[in-house]
Amino acid sequence: MKGQYHVIVQNNRVKYEFDIRRNITIIKGDSATGKTTLVSLIETYDRLGSDSGIEVVCTRRCLTVNNSNWEAVLDRSSDSIVFIDEENTIIKSKDFAKKIQGTSNYYVIVTRENLPNLPYSVEEIYGIHNSGRYSDLRKTYNSFYRLYGSPFSGYDRKVQKIIAEDSNAGYEFFKSAACTDINVFSAGGKTKIRRMLVEDPDSTVLIIADGAAFGSEISEIYMFMRSHSGVHLYLPESFEWILLSSGLIDGNRIKEILEKTEDYVDSSQYFSWEQFYTKLLVEETKNTYLQYSKSKLNIVYLDNRQKTAILHVFHIIWEMMGIS
């Protein structure tokens, strides 16, 4: 399944209206904000239809699963939007992550916990906003594509170190691009970033990670940042997205894909958009001088022309990296 879907769920007392655009959407929030009510309305409608007094409007079937029936329901479901309430412990299991990978469904998961087994985007974490009887979804971390904290106040604009999420091509590029007196480290994975922050809490540091799959880590990093003003966060979709956005690969088709990625990413093939961008970049550069490999950076990307084009994509962090 691919594309964006508009969902309306309502009865005579409450109305929810929102859009779903990726295979995994997370709804967070405290008790009594309407999260469980939303899932309950969908479950009742799916079971009773119009006799329930509930209206669900969507071009895809909306359904629910629980701890006792989830495998059976998923085995017979396709091209649907599956809602799961936080009381169902299955969402934290590796078996659940393995099961939904490769399915053609989208999943909307209500939870206050982090789910490290699932690669969900920081862009698809929402809270429910209530206004009388009408409810919609508001992004909980809607500004995490900008730098956080209070940058440039009380210290030099240039950070002391950069932590890159991966240890491959992206890390190699950032290490080469940063000013020589800035230490650039690889975290070797998203789950290790917070530990590196705790080990050196007083440094001014810039974290660069793949926003397309960083959702499970963002709440802990955010809490750390609230008490450590020297920590800043840059979350592009992925390093491959940066390269695709640089203009080095010509064609309006690439621009269109980046602008409306949800129309191109099939949930049965890609567990996250990061995987899609990687495959797209590999295919578009195959047998060219820009040929891309995730495991090792093609040195062509460090040549002046290519490097400058790439840097322009994230010019917001130039000064922090010591780039004039």
Confidence grade of residue 181 (pLDDT, cut at 50, 70, 90):
confident
What pLDDT was estimated at residue 138?
57
Q: Are residues 316 and 177 in the same domain?
A: yes
Q: Are residues 71 and 162 in the same domain?
A: no
**Final residue before a domain boundary, out of 123, 139, 155:** 139
Q: How many domains does the chain have?
A: 2
pLDDT tens figures, 61-83: 999 999 999 999 999 999 999 99
Domain harbouring 108, CATH code: 3.40.50
Q: What pTM, to 2 d.p., does this model score?
A: 0.89
What are the φ and ψ backbone dihedral angles of 150, each rounded to 5 degrees? -120, 75
Q: Residue 34 above 80 pLDDT?
A: no
Question: Directed axis angle between helix 304-313 and helix 169-177, to 10°?
Answer: 100
Confidence grade of residue 318 (pLDDT, cut at 50, 70, 90):
confident
Q: Are residues 119 and 18 in the same domain?
A: yes
Secondary structure of the chain in the HEC alphabet? CCCCEEEEEECCCCEEEEEECCCEEEEECCCCCCHHHHHHHHHHHHHHHHHHCCEEECCCEEEECCCCCHHHHHHCCCCEEEEECCCCHHHHCHHHHHHHCCCCCEEEEECCCCCCCCCCCHHHEEEEEEECCEEEEEECCCCCCCCCCCCCCCCCCCCCEEEECCCCHHHHHHHHHCCCCCEEEECCCHHHHHHHHHHCCCCCEEEECCHHHCHHHHHHHHHHHHHCCCEEEECCCCHHHHHHHCCCCCCHHHHHHHHCHHHCCCCCCCCCHHHHHHHHHHHHHCCCCCCCCCCCCCHHHHCHHHHHHHHHHCHHHCCCCCCC
**Final residue before a domain boundary, out of 84, 115, 139:** 139
What pLDDT was estimated at residue 157?
61
Domain of residue 179, residue span: 145-324
Q: Are residues 131 and 156 in the same domain?
A: no
Q: Residue 137 above 80 pLDDT?
A: no
The pair of three-digit structure tokens given for residue 245, joined into one six-digit string? 């956005």
Q: Are residues 211 and 313 in the same domain?
A: yes
Higher pLDDT, 81 or 102: 81
What pLDDT was estimated at residue 145?
25
Higher pLDDT, 158 or 306: 306
What pLDDT was estimated at residue 33?
67
Q: Residue 144 above 70 pLDDT?
A: no
Q: Are residues 108 and 199 in the same domain?
A: no
Confidence grade of residue 135 (pLDDT, cut at 50, 70, 90):
low
What are the φ and ψ backbone dihedral angles of 301, each rounded to 5 degrees? -70, -10
pLDDT tens figures, 253-312: 999 999 999 999 999 999 999 999 999 999 999 999 999 999 999 999 999 999 999 999
**Final residue before a domain boundary, out of 110, 139, 168:** 139
